[in-house]
Chains A and B, each alone.
Chain A
Amino acid sequence: MTPDLAQLGAEHEALIQFLYLAPVGLVQADLHGEVAMMNPVAAQLLMPLSRNGGLDNLFVALEGVAPELRSMVERHPEPSGKVCDGLHVYLNAGHGGKRVPQILSLTLLKLDPERVMAVISDITEQVRRERRLRQNDAWLNAILAGVKDYALVSLDLQGRVCEWNPSIERVTGFGPDLVGQPFTRFYPLDAMTLDHQQDRLREADANGWSLDEGRRQRADGSLYWGSALIAPLPDREPLPGDEAGAAYCLILRDIGDQHGLPERRHDDAVRDHLTGLANRRALFEAAERELGRSSIAPRPTALLVIDADHFKTINDRHGHPGGDSVLRHLAGVLGENFREVDVVARIGGEEFAVLLPSTDLARALAVAERLRASVVAYPAMVGGQPVEYTVSTGIAVALDGEGGIDRLLARADDALYAAKRAGRNRVDHWRPGIDVHDAHQENADAT
């Protein structure tokens, strides 16, 4: 071997080893998922999922846990770009043993019209750690952190207040007429749906307790930061003639308002820096939670995807600071038009999304139409001048959590494209056979 060839050989070997040792899974495949190359960690993570003993096809290997991949790639309109970013893939905890990951993170990048690249990593521990931290936070707040006072409330099987006592008045200001009302009275108006109320009780039944922390509202309308712990009571089968007997105890604590209500409460990881709204990750987490619950307690969930029309023109005319003002203005309008329980997020440059728990299509259409009209009626102010703009909205509804957030978002996106194509400043909703392809085409031409 000549020295040059020897040098090349050594470099090649070093590169091969670099890929062998890369601590993430890397896969290159064609658009049908046929694998061209993969590194060892990819095989380590995918082999336990393979049902035919092979790893010839990425989509086949992941079929059981992420069936949407194939269609996500097929429907990705651009010739290149991210198809999904850090998608959480929940594996079935089928096998025992400590080496079995439960959650994979999957990023799919379309390299060109022929190839995709996947990055796969095991994030089981990471997700667990984050969850534990959040729980610890809530626990510590419930027990220790600057508790001003607490109220003890007994609830019946439906979550209605059974009895009044002075601690309730001290903490919440409610008098004896509270008896018979649902415990959601302690929450701001619209902060909790009826379904959520039942979720909490079911969770308490299943785990022995259910804890949450957030804004609470006193009888006079003032807000405070509080935690609520619900635990089922023993011997709670109603006695004859006493159907409204106590079935749960609720401990409501005023943690004080030193946390700065409410935005400062959450760290930057879940908040969009420009608008202060939830970010994409927070939306996905909330959606996974809500859709997961709706598969247990059936109910519809609506997702709105809202996009500022001709945003590029706004940017061109008013500069990026002007564009940012419009986005902040839109964020403000969004904040005013939705319930406390709805999750309003910024998920892209000028793209926003709102998750509406326990909401069917008719209601979602009404809310979206109201939003559209608000934007038209109240223009943004940039440098003292009104800037008029409009929004288009796509709506999709998942029944009983079916299909998960990815399908819901993809459908809402399709509906958004349809709304754009039909002329903008309008609302459309997903339905089978919605004409997506042309819509994408035209939108690419004229955003």
Chain B
Amino acid sequence: MTDTPIAFDAPDLAERLAHCTPEQLDTLDFGVIGFGPDTSVTLYNAFESQAAGLSPQRVLGQPLFTNVAPCMNNFMVAQRFEDAHEDASVLDDTIDYVLTLRMRPVKVALRLLASPGAGTRYVLVQRQPR
């Protein structure tokens, strides 16, 4: 967990993230939001914090889809996690999306990760070249 930087599109991304310390997550050049089965946010790295303009204290422990990222509370994102949970299936999908970082619409790629065994689900955010 030292030399090779973790890539947004790494196939084993969830597993590699699970082994990272918060400090290591802060060095990544994409946003990491981790959340538990009750959707409360457990991980919020520096890249995401900087992009959104919110410090981790304001975000950690808050329900993701209602209090942190309401923009994802629709069938394109939130429901994917719910469906995966209900079907006990693995979710690993990357979609184009628009986030409103500091109220500016920004095109991003979102990678949605969840698996039945894992306690943490992830929304990963990579900015797209405009």
Contact = CB atoms under 8 A, between A and B. Distances in A.
A binds B: yes
Give the secondary structure class of B's interface. Answer: mixed
Interface string B42-75: 0000000000111100100000000111111111
B64 to A, nearest CB: 12
A227 interface: no
B40 to A, nearest CB: 15
Given A13-B53, A13-B54, A21-B67, A99 B75 contact: yes
A276 interface: no
A43 B99 contact: yes
Contact of A43 (B78, B79, B100, B102): B100
Given A43-B98, A44-B72, A47-B97, A37 B58 contact: no
A96 B97 CA distance: 19
A47 B107 contact: no
Contacts of B105: 35, 38, 43, 54-56
B78 A41 contact: no
A173 B114 CA distance: 71
Interface residues on B, range: 20 to 34
B96 A48 contact: no
A16 B70 contact: no
A338 interface: no
A37 B79 CA distance: 26
B1 interface: no
A37 B53 contact: no
Contact of B71 (A47, A50, A54, A95): A47
A322 interface: no
Contacts, number: 80
A136 to B, nearest CB: 30
Contacts of A48: 74-76
Interface in A21-42: 21, 23, 35, 37-42
Interface in B85-121: 96-100, 102-105, 107
A38 B78 contact: no
B108 to A, nearest CB: 11
Contacts of A40: 69-71, 99-100
Given A17-B58, A43-B105, A95 B75 contact: yes
Given A35-B105, A40-B69, A16 B53 contact: yes
B71 A44 contact: yes
B81 to A, nearest CB: 11
A17 B102 CA distance: 9
Interface residues of A, number: 31
Contact of B103 (A21, A38, A50, A54): A38
Given A13-B53, A40-B71, A55 B98 contact: yes
Contacts of B104: 37
Contacts of A12: 53
A19 B71 contact: no
Contact of A39 (B53, B98, B100): B100
A97 interface: yes
Most buried by A among B53, B54, B100: B100
Contacts of B58: 13, 17
A20 B104 CA distance: 11
A101 to B, nearest CB: 8
A38 B104 CA distance: 6
B20 to A, nearest CB: 25
B83 to A, nearest CB: 8
A13 B55 contact: yes
A367 interface: no
B98 A99 contact: no
A44 B73 contact: yes
Contacts of A54: 98, 105, 107
A100 interface: yes
B107 A41 contact: no
Most buried by B among A19, A23, A38, A100: A38
Nearest to B104: A37
Contacts of B97: 47
B19 to A, nearest CB: 30
Contacts of B96: 53
B102 A16 contact: yes
Contact of A19 (B72, B98, B103, B107): B103
17 contacts: A12-B53, A20-B52, A21-B67, A21-B70, A23-B70, A35-B105, A37-B100, A37-B103, A38-B103, A38-B105, A40-B70, A40-B99, A40-B100, A54-B98, A99-B73, A99-B75, A100-B75
Top 3 closest pairs, chain A to chain B, by CB: A40-B71, A43-B71, A37-B103
Given A16-B53, A54-B105, 19 more contacts: A12-B53, A20-B100, A21-B70, A37-B103, A38-B103, A39-B100, A39-B103, A40-B100, A41-B71, A43-B71, A43-B105, A44-B70, A44-B74, A47-B97, A53-B96, A55-B98, A55-B105, A56-B105, A95-B75
